[in-house]
Amino acid sequence: MHAAATEVTASLPIAVSYLRYIPLAPLVGVLFHVALGYRLGRRAVGLVACAAVAVSFALAAKAFLTVLGSAAGTVVTDNVYQWLSSGEFTANVTFSVDALSSVMIMVVTGVGFLIHLYSIGYMAHEEDYARFFAYLNLFTAAMLVLVLADNLPLMFVGWEGVGLCSYLLIGFWYTDPEKASAGKKAFLVNRIGDAGFVLGAFTIFWALVDLGQGSLTFATINARAAELPAWASLAGALLLFVGATGKSAQIPLYVWLPDAMAGPTPVSALIHAATMVTAGVYMVARLHGLFEAAPAALQVVGIVGAATALLAATIGIAQTDIKKVLAYSTVSQLGYMFLALGVGAYGAGIFHVMTHAFFKALLFLGAGSVIHGLHDEQDIRRMGGVAQKMPITHATFALGVLAIAGVPGLSGFFSKDEILASAYAGGHFGLWICGVLGASITAFYMTRLYVLTFRGKFRGDHHKWDHAHESPIQMTLPLMVLAALAVVGGYVGVPEVLGGNNAFAEYLAPSVGHHQLGLAAGTELMLMGISVAAALTGIGLAWVMYSKGPDADLILKNKLGGLYQQMREAYNIDAVYDALVVQPLMRASDALWHSVDVRVIDGVANGTAAAVNSAGEGWRRWSTGNVQHYMLTVLVGVAALILALTLSSLIGVAG
Amino acid sequence: MRNALSLLVLTPAIGALLLGAVPNGAEALMRRLSLAVSLVPLAICVWIWSVFDTSRGDFQLVERVGWLPQFGASYMVGIDGISLLLIALTVVLTPIVLIAAAGSVHHRFKGYLVAMLMLESTMLGSLVAIDLLLFYVFWELMLVPMFLIIGIWGGERRVYASIKFLLFTMVGSLPMLAAIIYLAMQHGVGAGQVGNLSFALGDLYGTHLSPVAAQACFLAFFLAFAVKVPMFPLHTWLPDAHVEAPTGGSVILAGVLLKMGTYGFLRFALPLFPEAMVAASYWIGALAVIGIVYGALVAMVQPDMKKLVAYSSVSHLGFVMLGIVSLNTAGVEGAVYQMLNHGVSTGALFLLVGVVYERRHTRLIAEYGGLWKQLPVYAVCFLVVMLSSIGLPGLNGFVGEFLILLGAFRFNHALGAVAASGVVLGAAYMLWMYQRVMFGPVTNEKNLKLTDMTRRELATVLPLIALAFVMGVYPRPFFDVMRASVATTLAHASKATAARDLAAGNQPTAHAAAGASIRVRESPRHVVAEPEGGGAAAPAEDSAVPAAGNGEAH
Amino acid sequence: MIGTVHYLALSAVLFSIGAVGAVVRRNVIIIFMSIELMLNAANLAFVAGSNSLGSMNGQSIVFFVMTVAAAEAAVGLAVILALFRNRQTVAADEIALLKW
Amino acid sequence: MTQAINSGLPLIVACSWALLLIVVEMFSGDRRFVGVAWMGVIGLAVTAAMSVHYASVPAVYGNALALDGYAVYFNLLACTLGAAAMLLSIDYLGDAGIVRGEYYSLMFFAVIGVVIMAAATDLIVMFIGLETMSMAVYVLAGIRKSDLRSNEAALKYFLLGALASALLLYGVALLYTITGSTVLADVSKALSDTQHAGADHLVLLLATGLVLIGFGFKIAAVPFHLWAPDVYEGAPTTVTAFMATAVKAGGFAALMRTVLVALAPMRAELAPVLWGAAAVTMTLGNVVALRQTSLKRMLAYSSIAHTGYLLVGVTAGTNEAGSSVLFYLAAYGAMNIGAFGVMAALARRGRGCEKISDFSGLAQTHPAMACAMALFMLSLTGIPPLGGFVGKLYVFTAAMHAGLVWLVVIAALNSVVSAAYYLGVVRTMYFDNAPADVLPPARPYAAVVVAVAAVVTILLGVAPSPVLGSAARAFSKVLLG
């Protein structure tokens, strides 16, 4: 029993001209940093960077309020200029804000601003200060273009722009070769996804041209999706989903995200937790009409989401680096979002995007603060008892853990529960079970992380412990704000059964359609009970096992045997890819160059030259210098000529 | 200005002769004079652009003077949107190369400037020639200065590289001469009197050839242009020529000379042999795609920076060829735009490689490492140019590549998909090279002493970077100029392409319709009109093309 | 009865003897003499032709040829003499400075 | 009657002028015979002027000689080339240690030989012209008596020349017995009227073959080319210049008249043979030239290659093809005179400059000479817009018109091979650096001739219409019917 077809109310456009300044403000910031950054010193750079994002935030808020205030389905659009037109294809630079993108720009600018603030403190002692903020502003601009775009090509500009910024930021400390190649790996894996994205866009475009309305704006695609031929909508949707897996780190293109932790922690928080990685989810939600027209594609999205959630969660358990744990947790939570989209609950997916942005950014920044405090110590086995030294970080981090674990009352609970309920309501029992299982594993490894880091006594070298101190106010303030949001964030979407009116889903309905659960109150409460139980068991189990120290991992090791080692090395998927793709490619190109280019083609070219030369040498030897040889040749020539003449006359006569 | 085009072509040549008179000692005077001379065509080109009527698809500013009346060949020049864009590229790149030459060329400086100006003159000539024989003359003449530039100012294996460059191109172009003559003769036969040949492009459009003859002639043209593009099997001269050529030579070779091949396809091969071209579009497309993937793969393992960029050119021009053979508006316009982009980004890449080569006199990637810390400005410029070359949206490379893939996808899904993989491979080898050169610790102590880019070097690279941004963000003016011309070119092949598209199962793309809508006087005889009085009155007995109605020359 | 064909046959034989002589003998003067023999074979053919055609042209041509042959002999021997003075040899196969 | 005298007058004046030269030479004390040379040049000019003035279409002397347009064209060509060779020789003889006054009169006689061959419409008169020219050039080749190579060149040229004349004569004799006449027009009529069957036909083929060989030798077509490289290399450079240009022109004048007029009825049988000869000559000439180290020997093989290109025109055999050969001979003459002129200008007694390596770095030491030589090399390759290109274009177009598409393609590919060695010379001059002992400065007279040749080469490329027109007019009345 598939959810009721989501009907999209007609959009009422309001033409404005201030939307263009939202992405432009950070761009101006970038120019400032590049031109004057090095001369004007840290304070000015930090100020300008945050001011730029603040301006964007203000304008974004203005747009959000306009959309909120006016009738359902209103779209604020700003048509800047016609970028490209060739034959049937045209692409305009038009920014539009409807319910869906208003949420996204608020999250991007809001969380972005907090992270900019946090970075001022975190990057205080870096000498390439201006370069960092230039990249951060550039990223914000690109992400805003991605979210504000009203057609696929413009979105693609933002899409690759954020890919570039993640490449630059991951490889920020470029002197370290691993970090540089981690950046390269991120860019290339993204590029593979982007190739899929582009091919998907073409498939849809030409299918639409055949329908007579060739255009790549989201409105047209969603409107005409149903009329597309079946193969076109399926292929288009799947190819676009490949792009989404690349950008949002889903199976099979998730391998770059764990390595992306090589970048500075604020980068991980902003890009690899809150904003960029959600681009894939946003794109699928935005093109829900297309995915609806290809149910098989929707199925695939759901399955991939669930699988990734489960797989990443299992890996998360065995990680020892604090940022790696959070990275795999992000991959797992993204899996949840895609699971929500797969069952048609687009509103729930976006709701989880928002709440996840809050608590995952909080967790990352908290981790950053811990690393900063412990002088770049990242291995949780050599931490412990940090709570005494860093009370604020401890408190906010704890709230984050509770939120992500899905403890009732916090934002994580509401969004995750809505997803699980939708899965159950949609009849996808397999996906629902994965979800619940994933939820309990998530609770388990987050609690493990919390206990090993903050509780018990310090296991690292005491020198670091003596210097450990609470982070400065620029860092703790964003933590507190994010903690508040992580707690309060959920109350926007309280389901009816618990007395709320799910305002968030109502608000998003015009963009992505409202998806009624259609469950009896009893079953809904029962589902809630099950998910809460799963969470609490996870928390309890981890608390008991790890309160004594990290050797609890050994229990898991001998219980799970070889599997545990596999989980520790993330099923060494990297090695598999390397062996399957990278090495053969390199060997092939080497072979191609030497065999085809050098031996075959050059061989042929030099060969003919050599043949002509040797023929020349042969005939050159013919003139021996002896007069009589020449005479002999003349006489032989006479004979040959006469023979030729007779032959030609015979052929002539016969012919 | 009545004969702007002849002025455009002759100024650099006259400048070269003037330069010849300058005494060897006066290096500064030579630099200033050569730069001044190279700015004149730039000014003329700006004037032409302002006067150019973008609504018309046929040739404008046509000038015609009798040269070989016995053969029906005449000095006939004219331009349309496509050649105007390539002329603009040439007149922009040459001054930049001349500025760069001051820093990099040390021995026989005067000869270098003279050769470069002669090269510019011959390139402009072949871009404006619309008489087949005149085009062939400039096409061959282009080889001589390039041969000298590679041979005299090149690297160690310069002699082998210059001879190889020359022979490869000549093997291609001489069968084309035979085909041109055959074509001109067929025109004579077609028009009743056997005697009167004609090489004027306008007349030859309508020549009807037996299918076999059309195929043979097309193959001859294809060979000549494919060597120049370079397409897959005929490309091995390019890496050698690039590696051994001096920086300025590589910039012009990559920037403009390679475009002669693709320009030749659009200007001559497509309109003259539409059926043959369309029939061959599949295997040419396949060759182009092989070129893309092969070029990218081989570039991956190159130890030498210039060779890597050379193979990347093979890959990029594989894209351009794919765009052309897709024979729909998006693909061809993307191809023409990609020609410009490649000129800008690869030209800048060679300049940047030259910057480092001048300091360390080696092009091996292994010799470098961690340059970002030493040369921050250089690293940032290199980054922007590299991104434009791998087609990052917002920069110029993306616009061309996107449209080409769009067009190619319409032409054939498989080819489009494989070409898209080329985009990924392109990013791979570029980023890997960038990482080995720029990132990581400083491995070689010699790199510690490197100084950042001088003002002169910046003056050569910054205009190209600015151009890359402008062409990426606001490409409309370029598209407006070429829209009508591309439509006319495609209109020649519209019947055959429509048949091919139908056979391939998708709707005939709109260009067939668009072709008709563009105001084209389709009758082959009169596509080319003569100026009213004409600079020099066309000689009386030139009966091959009767003087047509109104003239265009302003 | 001996007709034109026989004369032509004789001239052909003479011609081939001259040709063989020119190729086989080593001494340059002998080579020159065999070429003269070939010329005379041509004269014989002319006379035979003129006789069979009954017109005097052939005969007159022979005089032209003879004068030319004489001039040729003079020049040829002068060249051979100059060569001999420098090289003291007239063997054809030793004169092979210019080759390849 | 006056017609006969008028047609013969130029020849009579020329011969007397040549004899006068010998007499003047005896009394001139000047060791470099500059006066004699100038007299020779003036004599050639007078001959050329008179032949143009007295040109008349009908053949005279029992139509053995016809000073028609065709003859006048070749007359002009031979006289200019002869004059150029004489001017080149003024400095060259002194340097090469040749103190022989009769050099100029011999050259004058050779030009007269060419004129007779061009004007002859009777096989025997053609033979006499051929012999006059050959005799003079045999001596000229061996003029440097002290030099072994010059002697050897003269000997080889003499022996093989004599053999070729013998073959030619035998052919003419057989042809005479079959057709009853030696006048080209009558031979052609006789051949077309009576159908020769069986044995008679065989003898006819033998005769035709022998006649072709006689002229084939003179233009150095393969396989009768073996003498050319040795003789070109051995003879003094100015004589080689004369041989490569004027003598070859004479050879072609005679060959064309014979093949296209006398043997016209046998077109069908001759065409494939000529086709094969053209292709083989081109290819062999170009391919072997690749391997040469001596510039003179390389130019010899290049002239064989150009014989191949000219034979393409002869094979085509149409009116247009004939005039294309005429034009090509003019362009070819200018280029080669220039190329040999550069070598003559730079040659000195002790230090010859015949090897290609002698020219290394010439661009730096003698920029003007190097530029001229590069120009000639490019023109010989057929790079537009020079004379060589228009020549090739004209021949290729004519051949294409006659349907010889594949021959044109072979010729096109041959041009690529020729590019390799011609531009090899350019490469040596421009890419390599000059040796320690730099070549001496160019001789004044030679430099002037080279400059004129360069200008002519460029003019023939850029504005060839006047020469094209005269070549077409010259050949228009040659073919019968």
- What residue of A is the nearest CA neighbor of B390? A191
Instruction: State CA B293 to chain mean position distance.
Output: 21
Chain D partners within 8 Å of A608 (Cβ): none
Is D137 in the C-facing interface, judged by CB distances under 8 Å? no
Residue type, A406: G
Cβ-based interface (< 8 Å): residues of A facing D: 609, 612-613, 615-617, 619-620, 622-623, 625, 627, 629-631, 633-634, 636-638, 640-642, 644-646, 648-649, 651-652
Instruction: State CA B508 to chain mean position distance.
Output: 29
Give which of D281, D288, D304 to mutate to test A binding, by max A Cβ within 10 Å.
Answer: D288
Work out the pLDDT band at A571, boundaries 50, 70, 90. Answer: confident
Cβ of C23 within 8 Å of Cβ of A621? The answer is no
Delimit the domains of chain D by residue range. 263-481
pLDDT of residue B521: 35
Cβ of A637 within 8 Å of Cβ of D224? The answer is yes
Size of interface A-C (CB pairs under 8 A): 31
Cβ of C45 within 8 Å of Cβ of D124? The answer is no
How far away is chain D from the Cα of C94, in angstroms, using its nearest Cα? 10
Distance between CA atoms of residues B301 and A597, nearest Å: 13
- For residue D481, pLDDT over 60 is answered with no
Is C95 in the A-facing interface, judged by CB distances under 8 Å? yes
- CATH numeric code, C4-94: 1.10.287.3510
Size of interface C-D (CB pairs under 8 A): 122
- For residue C90, pLDDT over 60 is answered with yes
Q: Residue A558 burial (CB < 10 Å; 0-12/13-18/19+)? A: exposed
Smallest Cβ distance to C72: which of D124, D154, D162? D162
Residues in chain B: 554
User: Residues D284-298: pLDDT tens digits?
Assistant: 999 999 989 999 999
Cβ of D159 within 8 Å of Cβ of C35? The answer is yes
Cβ of C32 within 8 Å of Cβ of D162? The answer is yes
pLDDT of residue B305: 92
DSSP string, D13-40: HHHHHHHHHHHHHHH---TT-HHHHHHH
Q: Are D391 and D327 in contact, with CB atoms under 8 Å apart?
A: yes
Distance between CA atoms of residues D261 and D251, nearest Å: 15
pLDDT of residue B548: 36
Smallest Cβ distance to D163: which of C35, C65, C79? C35
Arithmetic mean of pLDDT, A586-599: 86
Chain A partners within 8 Å of D159 (Cβ): 627, 631
- What residue of A is the nearest CA neighbor of D224? A634
Arithmetic mean of pLDDT, A226-253: 91
Distance between CA atoms of residues B348 and B368, nearest Å: 19
DSSP helix/strand/coil, B429: helix
Instruction: State CA A593 to chain mean position distance.
Output: 34
From D343, D350, D396, select the one nearest D372 (Cα to Cα): D343
Tokens describing residue A194: 């982007």
How far away is chain D from the Cα of C2, in angstroms, using its nearest Cα? 16
What value, to the nearest 5°, has the Cα angle with vertex B301 and ends B297 and B303? 145
Arithmetic mean of pLDDT, D392-406: 90
Distance between CA atoms of residues D111 and D281, nearest Å: 26
Smallest Cβ distance to A623: which of C28, C93, C100? C100
- For residue A564, pLDDT over 70 is answered with yes
Contact partners for chain B, using 3 or more CB pairs closer than 8 A, are A, D
Q: Are D345 and D368 in contact, with CB atoms under 8 Å apart?
A: no
Size of interface A-D (CB pairs under 8 A): 89
Q: Are A451 and A547 in contact, with CB atoms under 8 Å apart?
A: yes
Per-residue pLDDT of chain B (554 residues; tens, 9 = 90+): 678 899 999 999 999 999 988 888 788 888 899 999 999 999 999 999 999 998 988 899 899 888 888 778 889 999 999 999 999 999 999 999 999 988 788 888 888 999 999 999 999 999 999 999 999 999 999 999 999 999 999 888 888 999 999 999 999 888 899 899 888 888 766 554 445 677 888 777 777 788 888 899 999 999 999 999 999 889 999 999 999 999 999 999 999 999 999 999 999 999 889 889 999 999 999 999 999 999 999 999 999 999 999 999 999 999 999 999 999 999 999 999 999 999 999 999 999 999 999 888 888 998 888 888 888 899 999 999 999 999 999 899 999 999 999 999 999 899 999 999 889 999 999 999 999 999 888 888 888 888 888 998 999 999 999 999 999 999 999 999 999 999 999 988 887 788 887 777 655 444 444 433 333 333 333 333 333 333 333 333 333 333 333 333 33
- What residue of A is the nearest CA neighbor of B311? A593
Delimit the domains of chain A by residue range. 575-615+628-654
Cβ of A188 within 8 Å of Cβ of B302? The answer is no
Is C59 in the D-facing interface, judged by CB distances under 8 Å? no
Q: Are B164 and A605 in contact, with CB atoms under 8 Å apart?
A: yes
Is D146 in the C-facing interface, judged by CB distances under 8 Å? yes
Percentage with pLDDT > 90 across chain A: 42
Contact partners for chain A, using 3 or more CB pairs closer than 8 A, are B, C, D
pLDDT of residue A363: 92
How far away is chain A from the Cα of C79, in angstroms, using its nearest Cα? 14
- What residue of B is the nearest CA neighbor of D432? B152
From D181, D245, D162, D175, select the one nearest D212 (Cα to Cα): D175
Cβ of A626 within 8 Å of Cβ of C96? The answer is yes
Distance between CA atoms of residues B277 and B280, nearest Å: 5
User: Residues D28-59: pLDDT tens digits?
Assistant: 777 778 888 999 999 999 999 998 888 776 76
User: Residues D78-125: pLDDT tens digits?
Assistant: 999 999 999 999 888 887 777 777 899 999 999 999 999 999 999 999
User: Residues A127-138: pLDDT tens digits?
Assistant: 888 889 999 999
Delimit the domains of chain C by residue range. 4-94
Residue type, D239: V
Delimit the domains of chain B by residue range. 279-474
Cβ of B171 within 8 Å of Cβ of D413? The answer is yes
Give which of D133, D170, D204, D298 to mutate to test C binding, by max C Cβ within 10 Å.
Answer: D170
Distance between CA atoms of residues D139 and D113, nearest Å: 14
Chains D and B lie in contact, requiring 3 or more CB pairs less than 8 Å apart: yes
Smallest Cβ distance to A84: which of B399, B428, B510? B399
How do strand A74-86 and strand A12-15 relate by DSSP bridges? parallel
Work out the pLDDT band at D403, boundaries 50, 70, 90. Answer: confident
- For residue A285, pLDDT over 60 is answered with yes
Give which of A20, A27, A84, A146 to mutate to test B binding, by max B Cβ within 10 Å.
Answer: A84
How far away is chain A from the Cα of D315, in angstroms, using its nearest Cα? 14
User: Residues D226-241: pLDDT tens digits?
Assistant: 999 999 999 999 999 9
Cβ of D383 within 8 Å of Cβ of B166? The answer is no
What b/e sequence results for A12-23 when a residue is b if at least 16 CB atoms lie within 10 Å of its CB, and e otherwise? Answer: eebebeebbbbb
Q: Residue B361 region, left (φ>0) first, then alpha (ψ -120 to 50), else beta?
A: left
- What residue of B is the nearest CA neighbor of D464? B68
Arithmetic mean of pLDDT, D261-282: 90
How far away is chain D from the Cα of B206, in angstroms, using its nearest Cα? 20
How far away is chain A from the Cα of B511, in angstroms, using its nearest Cα? 7
- For residue D268, pLDDT over 90 is answered with no
From A274, A260, A263, select the one nearest A115 (Cα to Cα): A274
Cβ of C45 within 8 Å of Cβ of D148? The answer is no
Contact partners for chain D, using 3 or more CB pairs closer than 8 A, are A, B, C
Give which of A649, A650, A651, A653 to mutate to test D binding, by max D Cβ within 10 Å.
Answer: A649
Cβ of C19 within 8 Å of Cβ of A635? The answer is yes
User: Residues A612-648: pLDDT tens digits?
Assistant: 999 999 988 888 888 889 999 999 999 999 899 888 8
Provide the 10 A C-beta neighbour count for residue D38: 15
Size of interface A-B (CB pairs under 8 A): 145
Cβ of A596 within 8 Å of Cβ of B409? The answer is no
Is C33 in the D-facing interface, judged by CB distances under 8 Å? no
